[in-house]
Amino acid sequence: MYHPDKCGGDPSASEKFKLVNESYEILMDSVKRQLYDRYGPSLNPPGPNCYPPPSHPMPKKKGVDLVQPIIITLAELFTGTIKKIQVTRNILCKNCKGSGTNKENAIPYKCLMCDGGRVRYLDVLVECNNCFGTGIVYQDRDSCQYCAGRKLKSETRKLVVDIMKGSHYGEKVSFFGEGDEQVEATTGNLVFIISPAPDAAHQENVNSYTHPKSISPNFNGKFKRVGNDLFIKLHVPLVEALTGGEIKITHMDSRDIYCRWNADEILSQESLYKMEGEGMPIVGQPRNGDLYIKFIVDFPKKLSTKQQQLLRSTFNHTLQLDTTSDHPPIHPVPPEEHNQFKHNLKQPNYQTPKTTHPHEYTQDHPTTTEPEAPQCTQM
């Protein structure tokens, strides 16, 4: 009877007709009828502190990214690599479509953890992990049998991750929309962080080659990355340091490169040498950094008398000893003492630990006492 066409232009008729239609829809829809009985005309549970949720639909919040490390060796960063990674993520339950129930007449209940407000107030405002930010839950008998009312299921899949040569540790490789699916939120991204192995000392620490004559011509030493450059220490015998030589190095891409120096160039342990273009690839550029080399000259453990004489003759050197001195000759330090002394050298203000012997005294026990000053007597 409140139809606008039959009320002669009564302005209130339109509003009343709208209310009648809404009431009819609620009476005919069992879910809306149950929500009306529980929460009133808004059909929504009240929020925390009795503030009702907004009447208009809220825009979907941005989902949280799924972040995990991907272990890459230094050699793989040098050559580039493709990794097949198995990833487990949350997806909306396909059976209930993320609602928590697959029954049409299921009665939604206000989540007791967030009081229906979708968020919880802890130290900070966080989404309720009981109702997944929806504000409602269902009884066990009405819950989806596939996800047990959790609204989410786990999914495992394989992804192909392409690591470009020259990449750096800490860089990210992102797959958009491949993160966790979330209720009433956009799907986050899957982010891989390029990381070294937990025991990556063999990749990042400075290591040394042993001369190939004593190990193997194909011995592959280890490098340290310094930005786009590489650094390595090479052992070389004393005779080759003085007379010239060559060391064959197998690089991280299995190429053999040759480190040569001329006979008129004497290698010094304090000098730094460079092979241009043998460092790390530079992303986006058709060139590499450089390879820096520090030589460690290996001295012989002992020389025969004939070898000593030949050396002195070669260098025109005459041994001169002070036979009047009574100082004992030096001697090598045992390995344990050597390591302890190296450790002490690294300490900024190292002092020898003090020990007190029976014949020593501290400042609290002076060895002598000063005579007392004469005191005046009153006359």
Residues of the chain with pLDDT under 50: 47-52, 54-55, 201-221, 361, 365, 367, 377-379
Nearest alpha carbon to residue 225 among 75, 83, 81, 70: 75
What pLDDT score does 225 carry?
A: 87
* Radius of gyration of the CA atoms of the chain, in A: 40
The alpha helices in 67-213, defined as continuous H runs, are 74-79, 201-204
Q: What is the CATH number of domain 205-298?
A: 2.60.260.20
Furthest-apart CA pair in the chain: how many Å?
136
Nearest alpha carbon to residue 100 among 120, 128, 130, 127: 130
- Give residue limits of the domains in the chain: 4-43, 66-195, 205-298
| Token duo for residue 349 | 């203000």
**Cβ neighbours of residue 341 under 8 Å, at least 6 residues apart?**
333
Query: DSSP for 244-286?
Result: -EEEEEE-TTS-EEEEEE-TT----TT-EEEETT-S-B-TTSS
Instruction: Count how many residues are written for the chain.
Output: 379
pLDDT digits (tens, 9 = 90+) for 232-261: 888 888 888 888 888 888 899 999 999 888
Q: pTM value?
A: 0.61
What pLDDT score does 210 carry?
A: 40
What pLDDT score does 50 carry?
A: 45
Query: Out of 3.50.50.60, 1.10.8.60, 2.60.260.20, 2.40.50.100, which CATH number does the structure's domain 66-195 have?
Result: 2.60.260.20
Same fold, 66-195 and 205-298: yes
pLDDT digits (tens, 9 = 90+) for 317-329: 877 767 777 777 7
What pLDDT score does 83 carry?
A: 94
